[in-house]
Structure 1
Amino acid sequence: MGVAYSVGEVDHLYTFFVQWSPKNYTKGNKKPRKSRYLIREKHQNRYVVVEKNKASAINKLLSNPVDPTAKNWEIITVKDSKRRLSLCSSEDSEAEEPEYQEEGDYALPVLSNHSLLLEDHHLERLASHMPARTQEYPWHLVYSSAVHGSSLKTLYRNMASLDSPVLLVIKDMHKKVFGAFSSDPFKVSKYCYGTGETFLFSFNPDFQAYKWSGENSYFVSGNVESLQIGGGGGGFGLWLDADLYRGASFSCPTFRNESLSTHEDFIVQDLEVWTVQN
């Protein structure tokens, strides 16, 4: 039995595959990779990555479709997709590259401002986990406790006009660096927001990235009293108070993470939030 997906659902399918099959779809896998193909909608930036051994069967379905709309789809290699993008110059062809990239294809993020917390080795490890849409664009400092003081309200206010992902970086009094990448800027909201691109990370001292587990969708929530990232099971993956002074980090179902710091309760020494705008 076949399953039909609308164009709008394809991005969510891809995120699902990335999160549930990290060994196949993420850059950290050091094993030899199988050939990758894209099920791509013609003239649109919608795609799903599939293995070579699945491509032939899917191609037959697309060649003899039950639904006429299937003719709008084609199967191409990831390499060919990139080649097409490099050759295209028309406005209609200026689409983002697929979020799947071979290891080494990503560039080190460029910071437009000086960071008190991020060094090259931090950026190198983080870059491999950030979505392709954030790459090759400079990161701008939108909030810094050293510049703007320690206030969650100020943090929200500085992001009020943003519509882009953000990177939250914290150094606590134990000199541990950790934080979160959020697909959406932080804001006051009655409900949780964000997508499966959101993840937690820690340099404690070795780098660990905690991707979405798929267990729940408690990505980010915030009010004037606190900011929470990840939840369920009685604890937040990362929690900050209204003064951005006290914080906490517990294991949570959203990311199946360990505590990001050496202590579940910590005191913030410095905090920065960066955003990428293309």
Structure 2
Amino acid sequence: MFPQSTQSPPTSLQVHPVPFLANTQDADELGAGSVEVPSWQIPDLVVECPKRPGARIHKGTSLILPEAGGDLLACIVRSLPVLLQIRPRWILGYSMAVDGVSLRTMYRQLEHSGPCVMIVEDSSNCIFGAFLSEGLRPVSQCYGTHECFVFRTPRLAGAWRTEVYGRSVAPTSPSQIEGASVPKPESEGASPPAGFSGQKAKYFEALRKAQAPSSSASVFCNHMGIVVGTDGPALFIDQDLLRGASWPSVGFGSPSLCTAGTDFVVRNIEARQNRFGIGAPNANERPVK
């Protein structure tokens, strides 16, 4: 739940329809095409869960979503499957601020959690992430449905609004896929991206070759990291959870999600599990204060 206030809560939040292709307005301007998200669709943000009773936020750290602003939250909600928009409660499945820095812990905390929203904040204050319709789980093959999407919002940049990119129509030619893929290795005439040469470049290439173009917006997780959008990848988080990368993705129709090139340094990551808010909350669930 959001921090208490003496003022009456708003009846709705206004956001631009998604997907967005450009940012041409100041943050306080609402265009004619804006849409309303009713307040009852805005989720309660819960820290504790049965897997983590008595959770506490580490000193000097903070959670991402409560501080990111209503536009990001509303745009994510607007893009979710309809059933997940009904009085939602978003449980904090994993956060660096609560659980420490560990990919293994992240997988364990989110095991059998179902759909989740993964949010990343980088060292440039940009916030981006993905909705994963089948959750985060280390498996031997790619997975995901047409309901997956990626998003970005450069925090504190007044001319930007949250952009959401849903799974797009499959490309019709190999050249379209290649245009959104990881740069070719040096042996093929192009320099690999800084920090992700060698083994990581081969890793991404193997993922692309294993997938048909129609499924390039898939998700893949294992001990080497998290990949969203195998034709880019649209988003990659390395196994140490300290670095990542984002390239344009044809599968999602998205540009690089980070604002400073393709590679980024992770400042914070959190994953929210979607739970319906109908009925009494679980005794182990504590709203964000």
Q: Same fold by TM-score, threshold 0.5 exceeded?
A: yes
2:41 paired with 1:107: yes
2:130 paired with 1:174: no
SS in 2 for 1:140: strand
Structure 1: tracts of 5 or more residues without a match? 1-20, 24-28, 32-101
Correspondent of 2:270 among 266, 269, 272: 272
Q: Kindly indicate whether the alpha-carbon contact (under 8 Å) linking 1:239 and 1:249 is maintained by their aligned counterparts in 2.
A: yes
Larger Rg, first or second structure (1 or 2): 1
State the partner residue of 2:148. 198
2:64 paired with 1:117: yes
State the partner residue of 2:167. 212
2:186 paired with 1:239: no
SS in 2 for 1:192: coil
**Aligned-pair distance for 1:266?**
0.3
Correspondent of 1:256 among 253, 256, 260: 253
Q: Kindly indicate whether the alpha-carbon contact (under 8 Å) linking 2:75 and 2:164 is maintained by their aligned counterparts in 1.
A: no
**Aligned-pair distance for 1:277?**
2.2
SS in 2 for 1:239: strand
2:135 paired with 1:137: no
Q: Kindly indicate whether the alpha-carbon contact (under 8 Å) linking 1:143 and 1:273 is maintained by their aligned counterparts in 2.
A: yes
Supply the distance in 1 between the matched residues of 2:120 and 2:266 (Cα, whole angstroms): 7
Identity %: 33
**Aligned-pair distance for 1:185?**
1.2
Supply the distance in 1 between the matched residues of 2:41 and 2:136 (Cα, whole angstroms): 25
SS in 2 for 1:277: strand
Supply the distance in 2 between the matched residues of 1:142 and 1:226 (Cα, whole angstroms): 17
Supply the distance in 1 between the matched residues of 2:138 and 2:41 (Cα, whole angstroms): 32
Supply the distance in 1 between the matched residues of 2:144 and 2:91 (Cα, whole angstroms): 20
Q: Kindly indicate whether the alpha-carbon contact (under 8 Å) linking 1:231 and 1:253 is maintained by their aligned counterparts in 2.
A: no
SS in 2 for 1:191: coil
User: Which letter does structure 1 place at the counterpart of 2:164?
Assistant: A
State the partner residue of 1:92. none
**Aligned-pair distance for 1:22?**
7.5
Structure 2: tracts of 5 or more residues without a match? 1-17, 21-30, 48-56, 171-213, 277-289
SS in 1 for 2:104: helix
**Aligned-pair distance for 1:132?**
1.6
Supply the distance in 2 between the matched residues of 1:126 and 1:227 (Cα, whole angstroms): 20
**Aligned CA-pair RMSD:** 2.6
State the partner residue of 1:128. 78
**Aligned-pair distance for 1:201?**
0.2
**Aligned-pair distance for 1:104?**
3.9
Q: How many residues align?
A: 182
**What TM-score results when the alignment is normalised by the length of structure 2?**
0.58
CA separation of 1:192 and 1:104: change in aligned 2, threshold 3 A = same
SS in 1 for 2:75: helix
User: Which letter does structure 2 place at the counterpart of 1:210?
Assistant: Y
Supply the distance in 1 between the matched residues of 2:96 and 2:19 (Cα, whole angstroms): 34
TM superposition outliers: structure 1 runs of 4+ over 3 Å: 102-106
Q: Kindly indicate whether the alpha-carbon contact (under 8 Å) linking 2:19 and 2:165 is maintained by their aligned counterparts in 1.
A: no
**Aligned-pair distance for 1:146?**
1.5
**Aligned-pair distance for 1:30?**
6.2
Higher RCO (CA-CA < 8 Å; seq separation 6+): 2
SS in 1 for 2:252: coil
User: Which has a greater percent of helix?
Assistant: 1
User: Which letter does structure 2 place at the counterpart of 1:180?
Assistant: A
State the partner residue of 2:227. 228
State the partner residue of 2:98. 147
